């Protein structure tokens, strides 16, 4: 693996660090994913990242999301008649 150094002003560096934190990634991993996707080297986010949604929302929000998700797993027999 190659090491690259970039020069960024304070505003850009702060924004990158904040975005990496929000994504639950290191700055290095965030930049790799962002640039790889922008350059077409990586596919857009895959479903497994979405399924790990708990790391991006609060515990209460996660519980609410999972309770609503159960509605999608229920088959309404009347709807299919």
**2 in a structural domain:** no
Domain housing 76: 10-80
| Number of domains making up the chain | 1
pLDDT for 12 equals 95
Contact 33, 41 (CB under 8 A): no
Model pTM score: 0.51
**34 in a structural domain:** yes
**52 in a structural domain:** yes
C-alpha distance from residue 38 to each of 42, 46, 53 (Å): 8, 15, 22
Q: What is the mean pLDDT of each run of 10 residues along the chain (81 residues)?
A: 91 94 91 88 61 65 79 75 70
What distance in Å separates the CA atoms of residue 26 and residue 74, rounded to the nearest whole number? Answer: 38
**46 in a structural domain:** yes
Is 33 exposed, middle or buried, given 0-12, 13-18 or 19+ CB atoms closer than 10 A? middle
């Amino acid at each position: 693996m190659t090491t690259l150094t970039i020069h960024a002003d304070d505003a850009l560096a702060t924004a990158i660090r904040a975005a990496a934190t929000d994504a639950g990634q290191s700055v290095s991993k965030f930049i790799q994913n962002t640039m790889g996707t922008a350059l077409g080297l990586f596919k857009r986010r895959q479903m497994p990242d979405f399924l790990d949604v708990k790391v991006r929302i609060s515990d209460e929000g996660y519980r609410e999301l999972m309770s609503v998700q159960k509605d999608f797993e229920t088959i309404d027999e009347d709807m299919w008649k």
